[in-house]
Amino acid sequence: MATDAVASTMGSVHDDAGGVPPPETDETQTFIIPEMTSALNTINDFFNSQVLPRSRAIETEVANLTYEANAVSNAAEAERANLEKELARLSNLVQSFQSRISQYLHFGAFGGHQG
């Protein structure tokens, strides 16, 4: 008998597809009460008037700073390449000078072998 009571209760709760029907609503109830709608409108107005313009300004500033950082980075990279070329040139000059000094010390001032 208890099983029949449970079965009859379940039959009234579930629809034919096995789902639970939505609860019945009273026509005097609203999904969002007017105070909540007003608060949401105030929040929406605040975001539109204060947050969005500032976020767009920040986005523009970040884009400009990124552009400038890339330009500085490119200039620094070009300067680095020039410095590496100059360093290689000076290194070759020093090696050439060392080689000539070594030959000079080895052969003497007039090309004669000392040693």
Tens digits of residue pLDDT in 22-56? 556 555 556 668 889 899 999 999 999 999 999 99
Domain boundaries, the chain: 39-108
Q: Where are the beta strands (DSSP E) in the chain?
A: none
What pLDDT sits at residue 95?
Answer: 96
How far is CA 108 from each of CA 61, 65, 94, 98, rounded to the nearest angstrom?
A: 68, 62, 20, 15
C-alpha span between 23 and 29 (Å, rounded): 12
Q: Tell me the pLDDT of the chain averaged across its residues.
A: 81
Q: Which residue has the tokens 């500032």?
A: 54
pLDDT band at 6 (very low <50, low <70, confident <90, very high): very low
